Amino acid sequence: MAQTTRSAAVNGPDGRRSPAPPPKGFRSAELGWPELHRIPHPPHRLPVVGDILGANVRTPLQDSMKLARRLGPIFRRKAFGKEFVFVWGAELAADMADESRFAKHVGLGVANLRPVAGDGLFTAYNHEPNWQLAHDILAPGFSRDAMAGYHPLMLDVARQLTARWDEREAAGRAVDVPGDMTKLTLETIARTGFGHDFGSFERSAPHPFVSAMVGTLSYAQRRNVVPPLLTPLVLRGADRRNDADMAYLNRTVDAVIAARRAEGGSESDGSGDLLDRMLQVAHPETGERLTPENIRRQVITFLVAGHETTSGALSFALHYLSRSPEVLARARAEVDEVWGADGEPAYEQVAKLRYLRRVLDESLRLWPTAPGFAREARTDTVLGGEHPMRRGAWALVLATMLHRDPAAWGEHPEEFDPDRFAPSAVRARPAHVFKPFGTGARACIGRQFALHEATLVLGLLLRRYDLHAEPGYRLRVAERLTLMPDGLTLRLSRRARAA
């Protein structure tokens, strides 16, 4: 069916046409917050440069977390003429989760990814029609039936991981947790979603796609903290590397799509994988299809977001498990009871690992690998009953601090305790205080895919290995828009009853 073009007008939650979209580009806080002076900022603000004393360009998120503890549930930072408002208090974050008043804001580092991801699901502006079109076409690709179809491929990739870890264990060598989790999750999304094998476990070094992806994410992060006037000087070489990284990502994805087109026989009824849906399935109501350019952007979005965040979640969970003997023993006992010692778990058995899922959730609470999300006002409004916001004004919700708010999580929010996610504890907590996948209509479409994959892999690893932490290691968190443990290695020993 021929492609059609949607109106650029935006429909609000009530189905009525909304006003024209807010202006594009960065909007400093003073443009949208009439009483900005009431929001605290760090002491010792300097003319022109702002709040840069003590700032570390490599750890802007962790710097903001330190400030949050000092300044309270809403605060602001300014650097070189740009001012940002941060929110992390449970009540204020719940207010910003109100879809009738707030929507996703594409700002900060996310907008810096638009040259490569364009109007893909993660980076599209709300008024761009392709995000809703793609969401409607692709959402069935994450249904229960679709997930059950991905499960055997997830198991196959997990076998590659355990084969690699068996070799390392036999040689008495530690495993590079973030590196191997990245290989696993890249292969999983590539094979389940796009029928492509990167051969990551056959390589000693990361696949060039991973190197290009990390380069692009790191560049986007650096663009956040380098003053615009200094960008041509400071990022001159980085600009060229980023252009090369984006070109490689585009070439790789174009080759994947071309190979699928050459195969022919894609499923037009939606029973194929994500790439089949992108190429063959029309919107059920309008008959619209994704354009070739948007398909490329969606594939890049899924390959990057679909593995980068899950690899971080797995890595943090393995870190905490290796340092929490009682939690590890309880999780392993559950795996042994539910799955047994032999054979591979069926799709339905993964969801039965309820305690292990709590371990994963608690890891995501402490270090959500997508550590924040921005929200903008749909209309003039008042945040928390006391902070006026003009239409288009935005703030960054710090999920890492929202997940540590004592008002929601108790007196010791820094402690690792999976029982925070026992059903009774979840029911007792306020809504909207756990947001590792964003919020609202633009929340992560693949969250159930990621959770199933991560729970499956953790269960397989706990059934097979004893995990031994390196005694001298202290958790360091690397920031490249997403979060990842830095330098995390573990030593392994095979369990006597392992399959």
Of 217, 96, 114, residue with least CA distance to 480: 217
Which among 314, 307, 436, 452 is positioned nearest to 366, based on CA atoms?
A: 436
β-pairing, 477-480 with 482-485?
antiparallel
Q: How many residues are there in the chain?
A: 499
Structure-token pair, residue 163: 């084969």
Give the CA dihedral 402, 405, 409, 415, nearest 10 degrees. 90
Residue 102 falls in the annotated catalytic set: no
Among 182, 252, 301, 309, the one annotated catalytic: 309
- One DSSP character per residue, 365-406 reads HHS-SS-EEEEEESSSEEETTTEEE-TT-EEEEEHHHHTT-H
**Active-site residue flag, 449:** no
Encode 126-161: b = buried (16+ Cβ within 10 Å), e = exposed.
bbbbbbbbbeebbeebbeeebbebbbebbbebbebb
Catalytic site residue from 84, 316, 437, 449: 437
Which residues, listed in sequence order, are joined to residue 479 by a DSSP beta bridge? 483
CA 42/CA 86 separation, integer angstroms: 12
Identity of the amino acid at 485: P
Of 302, 369, 381, 444, which is the active-site residue? Answer: 444
For this structure, is 188 an active site residue? no
Residues known to be catalytic: 309, 437, 444
